Amino acid sequence: MPKIVVLSPVSVGAVRGMLAPRLKKKGLAVDVVVLHGGDTEKLKTELSDADVVIADYTYRTPLTGELCDAMQKVRLVQQPGSELHGIDLAACAARGIPVATAADGEAMGEHALALALALSRRLLYGHLTLTDGRWAGQELADMSGELGGKTWGMVGMERAGRETARKAAGIGGRIAYWDAGRLAAEEERRLRARYVTWERLFQESDVVSVHATATEKVIGEEEFRMMRPTGIFVNVSSGKLVDEGALSRAVLEGWIAGAGVDVFSAEPVKPDNPLLVAAREGAPIILTPHVGAATSEARARLVRESVDNALRVIEGSEPANVVRGGFAAQT
């Protein structure tokens, strides 16, 4: 009987419930084992005869090289998320085990929109001044702006980028985007999005929102100096795509109006991270601890997508969204 080992903190019943309709239709039976944390030897024993491993979306049970050594017949390691923390990709590649990801655009789009709106309306500053005993209403009115009718520049139009574009258009935003591959004309019309060059995106956008899993170059000082002084920068995709030192200087020195960041080059963030230092110094920056897709609804969707991909492999088909070169190929 094929076996799925789940390292995320979900119940066996929930996974079986997701599998049941397709298993019944196909006349298949699958063994499901959930192991979140625990003894390494027990993990190795359960992994030794697993066909698919669904990794831990909390990253608390890493899939190390030692655990990969125990995987004798695994055909897929499935990450229920877009980040690859906690998976030894080199060890998987050495054993010919494909690694796939899942992504949730809905929650990521909400988070990107929330960061941009909070920065535009200076909500954090308003909260802090009020709790500090100051009534800064007129000051905030002079500092705040609206994002309806403004240009939202999307770096990457994969799933999360498209969802953010849809939400931004819903409040009246005009959508521009850059991607390594241009969308089909029909998809551009549906999203009301226009393709622009890398340079024009930074020069012309009021909000630059990063959703790519890979770019041709790191976003750094050159790009931030291209942006308008009223511009807002948001990153909910990958900290490795952004020069954090350059971004901290951009907000501290006023090259741009503000930044919202949910992902970092190293996590958890260390006290000397330049973005954290800038925030402590009062820069217009909002930092969140990698929670863009961390809602109960999003996690349920990610686990369901992961289970579907696991079953696809068990049925003998090729997995979707396989990682190539360390980056996820999301559609």
pLDDT tens profile 116-167: 999 999 999 999 999 999 999 999 999 999 999 999 999 999 889 999 999 9
> What's residue 324's pLDDT?
65
Residue 53 CA to residue 64 CA, distance in Å, equals 13
pLDDT digits (tens, 9 = 90+) for 170-186: 999 999 999 988 999 99
pLDDT digits (tens, 9 = 90+) for 296-327: 899 889 999 999 999 999 999 999 989 864 44
pLDDT digits (tens, 9 = 90+) for 192-211: 999 999 999 999 999 999 99
> What's residue 74's pLDDT?
97
Show the DSSP H helices in the chain as ranges. 12-26, 40-47, 65-69, 89-94, 105-120, 123-131, 137-143, 159-170, 185-191, 198-204, 221-226, 244-252, 274-280, 296-314
CATH 3.40.50.720 domain residues, the chain: 3-104+296-314, 105-287
Torsion angle, alpha carbons of 298, 304, 309, 310, to 10:
130
Cis peptide before 268 (omega within 30 of 0): yes
Q: Is 21 exposed, middle or buried (0-12, 13-18, 19+ CB in 10 A)?
A: exposed
Cα dist. 79→95, 113, 138, 307 in Å?
Answer: 17, 25, 48, 10
pTM of the model: 0.84
Mean pLDDT of the residues in the chain: 92
Q: Compute CA 55 distance to the chain's CA centroid, rounded to the nearest angstrom.
A: 16
- 105-287 maps to which CATH number? 3.40.50.720
For 276-291, what is the mean pLDDT?
Answer: 96
Amino acid at 62: P
Torsion angle, alpha carbons of 297, 37, 77, 54, to 10:
-30
- Residue closest to 118 by CA, chosen among 230, 229, 258: 258
The reply to whether CATH 3.10.310.70 applies to domain 3-104+296-314 is no
Band of the pLDDT at 331, cuts 50, 70, 90?
A: very low
